Amino acid sequence: MADFLSQYSIQRWLEMCPQGYLEDTVYGHSPELKEPDIVVDNELLREESIRTTVQLVVGERCALAASSGLVNAAPDFPSKRFLATQTLDEARHVEICTRRLFDLGVKEEDLESTIDDFVNPNLVKFAEVLLEKVSDGDFIAGVVGQNIVLEGMAFSVFEMLEAVSKQGNPKFAETLSGTIADERRHVGFGENRIGSLIREHPERKADVEKMQAEMTYHMLATFSDSFRGNRAAVEETRAIAVAEGAEADTAEWHGTDLASASPEDMEAVLADTVLGEFKTRLNRIGLEYQSPPVPA
């Protein structure tokens, strides 16, 4: 364990992150990049971009609250130290996603009301399940919920959004790229650290698996709302974006062309990818993936 945890020193994090892939960026992207005019000027595109970004802000706020809340529950200094770096990573994600809302025209004084208006209530429930474990000081459940479930979901969502944005919105794609690099590190810690704790505390498996099923339920409901609930807006938005060059002509991701796929197909490829990752990663730490009921 000591060898693996030594890979997560602050020194290494400084060299890899601020002095590495974030070097010369401003709020996560090259200083000269900005939101494409079409995204800012077209009301429908702007609203959809705000809606998407609000979900990211809410997810990252949850991750910030969870990682900082877990520092005190961590059983050893190397874990506290890793969670300290994760706390800063998540704060940076909150910051860059919030900054994107401002770039999309949201006024500072309207930030909280905009988030309240656009946030998906299922995502809020997802966060509540995790934060309850954190506030109970439950390190094992907290890390599984945060570093396997939440980060696993975020990782795939960011990858998907990056694939869609790469051609038409390089600023957003660059912002996501740095975030994905952070999330990869977080998921790695979760797998490595919790595996040994689960082996030491097999009696915790059932409770942690129950939490995973609950979080998965709310996650799938969030996906369902996002892709199907506003189908007309999504399709119109995509049509305008493709026509105006703000989205890729093709955007291949896990075998699906995101630029032409129906909302159902996009939801399916995202859900399959995330659940596939959950199964693999949970299995690695000695847990069995629990299927949630299918959201109505």
To the nearest whole angstrom, how small is the minimum distance from the Cβ of residue 275 to another protein?
Answer: 30
To the nearest whole angstrom, how small is the minimum distance from the Cβ of residue 95 to another protein?
Answer: 5
What is the distance between the alpha carbons of residues 142 and 165, in angstroms, rounded to a whole number?
32
Report CA 248 to chain centroid distance, whole Å. 22
Q: Does 53 bind another protein (CB under 8 A)?
A: no
73 Cβ partners below 8 Å, 6+ apart? 134, 137, 138, 139, 142
How far the first Cα of the chain sits from its last, in Å, is 43
Amino acid at 278: F
Q: Which of 39, 54, 94, 119 binds another protein (CB under 8 A)?
A: 94
Q: Which of 80, 205, 254, 279 binds another protein (CB under 8 A)?
A: 80
Q: Which of 36, 59, 69, 145 binds another protein (CB under 8 A)?
A: 69
Residues 19-48 that bind another protein (CB under 8 A): 19, 22, 26-27
Q: Which of 42, 49, 52, 98 binds another protein (CB under 8 A)?
A: 98
Residues 100-119 that bind another protein (CB under 8 A): 108, 111
- The 3-state DSSP class for residue 29 equals strand
Options 44-52, 60-68, 152-160, 255-263: segment touching another protein (CB under 8 A): 60-68
273 burial (CB, 10 Å; 0-12 / 13-18 / 19+) is buried
Q: Are 26 and 99 in contact (CB under 8 A)?
A: no
Please name every residue paired with 29 in a beta bridge, in sequence order, or none if there are none. Answer: 26
Q: Are 169 and 36 in contact (CB under 8 A)?
A: yes
Q: Which of 84, 180, 233, 261 binds another protein (CB under 8 A)?
A: 84
Q: Does 176 bind another protein (CB under 8 A)?
A: no
43 Cβ partners below 8 Å, 6+ apart? none
Could you list the residues that contact another protein (CB under 8 A)?
A: 9-11, 13-14, 18-19, 22, 26-27, 64-65, 68-69, 71-72, 77, 80-81, 83-85, 87-88, 90-92, 94-95, 98, 108, 111
